[in-house]
Amino acid sequence: MKIRTVSLCLIRRDDQILVEEIVDEVLKKRLYRPIGGTVEHGENSKQTVIREVMEEIGAEIEEPKLSFVIENIFEYLEETGHEIDFIYEAQLRDRKLYNQEHINGLEGESKYNAVWKPIIGFLNNQHEKLIPDGLLELLLNQHKENISNIKHTSTT
């Protein structure tokens, strides 16, 4: 099993975050993930998040700050995945993007919509899920004292 290292960017608009919308036909759910992607060889996680936001939605971000680290071990399609997610927070340099309800995105060759979703809307939602696992809990408890910014999840 290979460990995948990922950098994701939390971009907030009031109580909402900008997320990539993924329709998962296997799980019969809509999955939502902050903009970002895989750390490339020779690149650190901060460089990755800056590059990925530019590649995917064509936008520059202001100085990203590391907020969370999630180690996620999960089962999908009868395979075990293992991912380390660096979750950064940043603001978009182009403030006009905050007025758009969706932003066209590109993940490799595949087009997608980046949409603004309220964080609380993922709580107890059977049809929509925020990924990676553990991120919703961290966001909901972010301002509580004595809560770790590191999350280990395992669904295996």
Higher pLDDT, 155 or 135: 135
Three-state DSSP at 74 gives strand
- In the chain, the percentage of residues whose pLDDT exceeds 90 is 73
Measured CA to CA, the distance from residue 150 to residue 115 in angstroms comes to: 26
Going from N- to C-terminal start, the domains of the chain cover 3-154
Q: What is the pLDDT of residues 7-55, one digit of tens each?
A: 999 999 999 999 999 988 777 789 999 999 999 999 999 999 999 999 9
Give the up-direction half-sphere exposure of residue 147: CA atoms within 13 A in the CB hemisphere. 15
Could you say which of 3.90.79.10, 3.40.50.300, 3.90.1150.10, 3.50.30.30 is the CATH number of the domain covering 3-154? 3.90.79.10
For residue 76, name the pLDDT band (cuts at 50, 70, 90). Answer: confident
CA dist 53 and 19 (Å) reads 11
Give the Cα separation of 144 and 102 in Å (integer). Answer: 31
Average model confidence (pLDDT) for the chain? 90
How confident is the model at residue 144, as a pLDDT? Answer: 64
Query: Percent of the chain having pLDDT more than 70?
Result: 90
